[in-house]
Amino acid sequence: MSTPAAARRPLAATLTGGGARPRPGRRALWVAAAAGLLLLALAVGVLVGPAGLTPRAVLLELWHAATGSGAASGLSSQQEAILWQIRLPRVVLGALVGAMLALAGAAYQGVFRNPLADPYLLGVSSGAGLGATLAIVAGGSLAGLGLPVVAFLGGLVGVAATYALGSSVGGGARSSVVIVLAGVAVAAFLNAVQTFVQQRYDDTLRSVYSWLLGRLSTQGWAEVLTVLPYVVLASVVVLLHRRVLDVMSVGDTEARSLGVDAGRTRLVLVLAATLGTAAVVSVSGLIGFVGIVVPHAVRLVLGASHRTLLPVSMLLGAAFLVGADVLARTVMSPAELPIGVVTALVGAPFFVVVLRRARLR
């Protein structure tokens, strides 16, 4: 694609890697800014919540814990428990989930050169959703495994089915289009099975529904520790491929001429992103929108170079979800909104603004 065309059609350009590429110095600046935004979101997330902890008391408590000195925070024992065992792990989990979903989205979009690819394509979400539904329906008998484990396995089964189906098509086995279409078919099938199971066991509808809407409620630090290794592993693998992703963005044939095995790279990246996604989805339920919108927003503003896109998407994804969770916890306080509802309600208008600004440029 020629440069003038790219300048006139920034949207199309972003999908093919033709967007602006910031100079290294500016890139560092953007990463720093995104990190700052994340810090701000974390601070707000820790300071704001339905429980009436004053920001001052929270700061005193944190200062006291960090330095072992300072004035007493004046928090009651319930409030201390809320801060350390409920709110902090929830904020950290939100950051991990948001970072993972946004990173996986950016990776999928790059790997498949498909703007609509996100963690929920390829059967990950529908597999995890079916797994969660089965776990909830089966209740006691699957309790030994637990909902997160079954959802995780379901997510892996979903993506494995997609990949097997895509490969079985033959000649086009490694073509991104075939894989994406296979993902659509697998997702539709798994969704149908899930709906069928739900209808058969309609007494569990509310529990399933609650999970499908996404939820960052934690049992403390357990979920954070469960998810952390997968998120770290997936992030490292994907981030190490940031240059290869740029090469692949021009096309499989071109990539091969540059010495990149597109098929193998795709498999590695998809597996890593899926593993991380399945892990976070299994504890948080289905939180839509983050994986598709955050990377696009970053692309529209910073261009499509994965060297910037991936880290900034991670940081902003984390900030976005932590912020959305603050809203979920407080808007209807003390009742709670499903975070999946908040991410879409807040994310969609935000994305439209970014889109308009990018077009005007």
Q: Where along the sequence are the contacts to other proteins (CB under 8 A)? A: 49-52, 77-82, 84-87, 89, 136-141, 143, 199, 201-207, 210, 215, 217-222, 329, 332-336
Least distance to other proteins, CB of residue 127, Å: 22
- Considering the complex, state which of residue 111 and residue 135 has its C-beta at the smaller distance from other proteins: 135
In 3D space, the residue among 342, 361, 327, 321 whose CA is nearest the CA of residue 97 turns out to be 321
> CB neighbours of 73 closer than 8 A, spacing ≥ 6?
57, 58, 60, 61, 64, 80
3-state SS assignment for residue 127: helix
- Considering the complex, state which of residue 69 and residue 203 has its C-beta at the smaller distance from other proteins: 203
DSSP, res 289: S
C-alpha–C-alpha distance, residues 83 and 165, integer Å: 47
Least distance to other proteins, CB of residue 89, Å: 7
Least distance to other proteins, CB of residue 299, Å: 34
311 cis-preceded (ω within 30 degrees of 0): no
Least distance to other proteins, CB of residue 352, Å: 29
How far is residue 232 from each of residues 40, 41, 318, measured CA to CA in Å? 22, 21, 14
In 3D space, the residue among 89, 55, 48 whose CA is nearest the CA of residue 217 turns out to be 89
Q: Are 270 and 135 in contact (CB under 8 A)?
A: no
- Considering the complex, state which of residue 23 and residue 200 has its C-beta at the smaller distance from other proteins: 200
Least distance to other proteins, CB of residue 97, Å: 17
Least distance to other proteins, CB of residue 47, Å: 13
- Considering the complex, state which of residue 163 and residue 211 has its C-beta at the smaller distance from other proteins: 211
- Considering the complex, state which of residue 79 and residue 125 has its C-beta at the smaller distance from other proteins: 79
**How would you class 149 by CB atoms within 10 Å of its CB: exposed for 0-12, middle for 13-18, buried for 19 or more?**
middle
- Considering the complex, state which of residue 96 and residue 297 has its C-beta at the smaller distance from other proteins: 96
Q: Are 288 and 70 in contact (CB under 8 A)?
A: no
How far is residue 134 from each of residues 19, 146, 150, 292, 300, measured CA to CA in Å? 44, 11, 8, 27, 40
Least distance to other proteins, CB of residue 218, Å: 7
Least distance to other proteins, CB of residue 72, Å: 17
- Considering the complex, state which of residue 202 and residue 360 has its C-beta at the smaller distance from other proteins: 202
- Considering the complex, state which of residue 165 and residue 208 has its C-beta at the smaller distance from other proteins: 208
In 3D space, the residue among 88, 159, 152 whose CA is nearest the CA of residue 123 turns out to be 159
